[in-house]
Amino acid sequence: AHSQARYVMLQVMLESGEYFVEIEKITGSEDKPDLLLTVDRTKLASVGKKAIGDFLGKLQLYRSTPNVTVAKEMYDKYSLATLEENKYPFLECREIVMD
């Protein structure tokens, strides 16, 4: 559950744009593929705080109204890992992390 929550928060931060968080595929030790996550610390208070705050606010609103169905749909959207040809194919990244 905690790993899934961290992944959801990463997705929220990536969605915030403005190059707040970037993921780069690199070659690590032993010439194995690895991932480098970079956070622009100058944007923590502006971009990062707003993105996470907006997400948590929506999630809390849906849960307290009680609109659990919409809250679950929103959370599931962020926790889905796909092979889509987008900037971050997370199933491919998962293989790198698990190796």
Radius of gyration of the chain (CA): 15
What is the per-residue pLDDT across 13-64, written as a single tens digit (0 to 9) for each? 998 988 999 988 899 888 989 989 999 999 999 999 999 999 999 988 988 8
Please choose, from the candidates 13, 7, 20, 21, the residue with its C-alpha nearest in 3D space to the C-alpha of residue 97. 7
On the 0-12 / 13-18 / 19+ scale of CB atoms within 10 A, 6 is exposed
Cα(83)–Cα(99) distance, integer angstroms: 18
Question: Which pLDDT score is estimated for 56?
Answer: 93
Please choose, from the candidates 33, 9, 35, 8, the residue with its C-alpha nearest in 3D space to the C-alpha of residue 22. 35
Cα(25)–Cα(94) distance, integer angstroms: 12
Cα(81)–Cα(93) distance, integer angstroms: 9
Query: DSSP letter at 24?
Result: E
Residue 83: pLDDT above 60? no
Predicted structure pTM score: 0.78
